[in-house]
Amino acid sequence: MDAIARSLADTGLPHPLRVSAARAAVCAGDAALARQIAEKTAGQFLRPVINATGTLLHTNLGRAQLEGGACRGAVNLELDLATGRRGLRTSSVSKLLCSLTGAEAATVVNNGAAALLLVLATLAPGQPVIVSRGELVEIGGGFRIPEVLATSGARLVEVGTTNKTRLADYAEALGGLAPETRPLLLKVHQSNYRIVGFTQSVTTAELATLGVPVVVDLGSGLLDAGTPWLRSAPPRFLAGEPAARQTLVQGAALVTFSGDKLLGGPQAGLIAGSADLVSRCSRNPLFRALRPGGLVLSELQATLVAYAERRGHEIPFWQMATTPAGEIRERAEAIAGRLGPPVSVCGSLAAVGAGSSPGMEIESAALCLPGDHRIGLIDHEPPVVARVQEGRTLLDLRSVSPGDDGAVESALKHLLSRGPT
């Protein structure tokens, strides 16, 4: 067993897992299976990969790409260095978020789902939460609005229909409630789908006229529709994407959104808006269970500082999303020129991904070659994740950091050197 385990050292697995693989293979009556089992396990270990899919926020690849590595050694997570006293771990991120969105207060939990759960569990336990039937959605990964509501202890009150909901529908639902109830209006952004045709929905500004707190689950986390962190005008793919600052101006009491979608930061869930409501959320014991650690907070702080200093080009998502298509084509042509046929350059349409800006495409360029070579390309160090379209493998360089072009080239060279498979 030990000899088999030692022969698997090149898989990079720690010894005890190599022993487990050896044992499983021997139990199955075929020692030769050990390598296969060990390689399967090694393939599940997290390591850097190159996202050449053209989907900028790819959920299987960790959504927004980070520059990486803010946190080493100890960090003043809950030590206020100005006073030497115990501090609040979310302070810096809250201040930055308030400045960037105009919110009175803000806090952070582990993801967007946790943010909405905390808001509902804090503000509406046992209380009616009024939601349009057009917004009772599944976001993905099993996140369904009616189920989150039920888990929070709030009581769902559905209004309108799938395609049409009017302000009067909400007003009527409110009118039917007992006077002692403390209702909430919840608006959920249609992140990953569109309802088109004979449709009608109610804006945040209209909902805010009803005199009840309005919570808006924005999803993707665009901070400000004016994108002041970019040198250019707001990109076209943002059309229809609600932004935190403008939603609060329209009268939302709270907005919730993810850290790793359009915000371009680490996985996190942000809550911003009224000081009273945010403070109630932070005081809920559930907050203690949902709070992020220092790794996440330092990455998020770095992302928000880049926004505050208008260095949007230093946030990988914004850099990738706004690079002119011509520049991407030049990078692809340089690589294709060195490799030669069967690698060529083709036009590609990149997507934002992660359920943000559905249907919006960004013009891009890809390296392409006939056939499906996805497996061959991930069998490389670092693995390169490509996509297949109309019988060709496409490596879209919009989702690849320019610093990784060399690795893309070497993965293709390696693939071609192995000949037809």
At a CB cut-off of 8 Å and minimum separation 6, what does 67 contact? Answer: 302, 314, 316
Other CB atoms within 10 Å distance of the CB of residue 199: 13
Stretch that binds ligand PLP, among 66-74, 214-222, 232-240, 307-315 (CB under 6 A): 214-222
Element (H, E) at 335: helix 325-339
Size, binding site for ligand PLP by CB under 6 A: 14
Beta bridge partners of 385: 51
Cα angle for residues 112, 66, 412 (degrees, 5° grid): 120
Q: How far is the CB of 241 from ligand PLP (least distance, A)?
A: 11
Q: What does the DSSP assignment read for 129-182?
A: EEEEGGG--EEETTEEHHHHHHHHT-EEEEES-SSB--HHHHHHHHHTS-TT--
Query: For the chain, what is the radius of gyration of the CA atoms?
Result: 24
- Nearest-approach distance from CB 271 to ligand PLP, in angstroms: 12
Interface with ligand PLP includes 134 (CB under 6 A)?
no
- Residues 6+ away with beta carbon under 8 Å from 84: none
Closest to ligand PLP by CB, 24 vs 143, is 143
Cβ proximity to ligand PLP: between 60 and 232 the closer is 60
Q: In the complex with ligand PLP, which residue's Cβ is closer, 21 or 131?
A: 131
Structure tokens given for 343: 């690698």
238 binds ligand PLP (CB under 6 A): no
Could you tell me the smallest distance in angstroms from the CB atom of residue 55 to ligand PLP? 15
Query: Nearer Cβ to ligand PLP, position 213 or 242?
Result: 242
Which listed range, 32-40, 75-83, 217-225, 286-294, lies at the site for ligand PLP (CB under 6 A)?
A: 217-225
Query: With binding defined as CB under 6 A, does residue 217 bind ligand PLP?
Result: yes
* Interacting residues with ligand PLP between 269 and 288 (CB under 6 A): 269
Query: Mask: binding to ligand PLP, 88-117, rule CB under 6 A, as x and -?
Result: -----------------------xxx----
Least distance between ligand PLP and beta carbon 143 (Å): 5
Q: Which of 365, 352, 367 is nearest to 324 (CA)?
A: 365
- Three-state DSSP at 23 gives helix
> Smallest gap, in angstroms, from Cβ of residue 292 to ligand PLP?
12
Could you give the string, one character per residue 325-364, with x where binding to ligand PLP holds by CB under 6 A and - elsewhere? Answer: ------------------------------x---------
Q: What is d(CA 161, CA 312) in angstroms, rounded to the nearest whole number? A: 40
- In order of 93, 121, 236, 259, 340, the CA distances from 268 in angstroms are 11, 18, 26, 5, 43
Closer to ligand PLP at the Cβ: 221 or 376? 221
User: Distance between CA atoms of 385 and 397, rounded to whole angstroms?
Assistant: 11
Q: How far is the CB of 322 from ligand PLP (least distance, A)?
A: 21
One residue of 25, 118, 130, 139 binding ligand PLP per CB under 6 A: 139
Q: Which of 57, 188, 362, 397 binds ligand PLP (CB under 6 A)?
A: 188
DSSP H/E element including 384: strand 384-385
CB 404 to ligand PLP: min, Å? 25
* Minimum distance from residue 147 beta carbon to ligand PLP (Å): 12
Stretch that binds ligand PLP, among 170-178, 215-223, 228-236, 411-419 (CB under 6 A): 215-223
What's the closest the beta carbon of residue 258 comes to ligand PLP, in angstroms? 3
With respect to ligand PLP, which residue has the nearer C-beta, 89 or 189?
189
Looking at the Cβ atoms of 183 and 266, the one nearer to ligand PLP is: 266
Q: d(Cα 139, Cα 349) in Å, to the nearest integer?
A: 23
**Contact between residue 292 and residue 283 where contact means Cβ atoms under 8 Å apart:** no
Decide whether 139 or 335 has the Cβ nearer to ligand PLP: 139
Enumerate residues 240-269 that contact ligand PLP by CB under 6 A: 258, 269
Cα–Cα nearest to 135, from 184, 196, 191? 191
Query: Taking the chain, what is the end-to-end CA distance rounded to the nearest angstrom?
Result: 33
Provide the 8-state DSSP code for 334: H
Among 18, 35, 89, 189, binds ligand PLP (CB under 6 A): 189
35: three-class secondary structure by DSSP: helix
- Distance, in Å, from the CA atom of 360 to the CA atom of 346, rounded to the nearest integer, reads 19
What tokens does 351 get? Answer: 């997507």
Residues in contact with ligand PLP by CB under 6 A are 111-113, 139, 143, 188-189, 191, 217, 219-220, 258, 269, 355
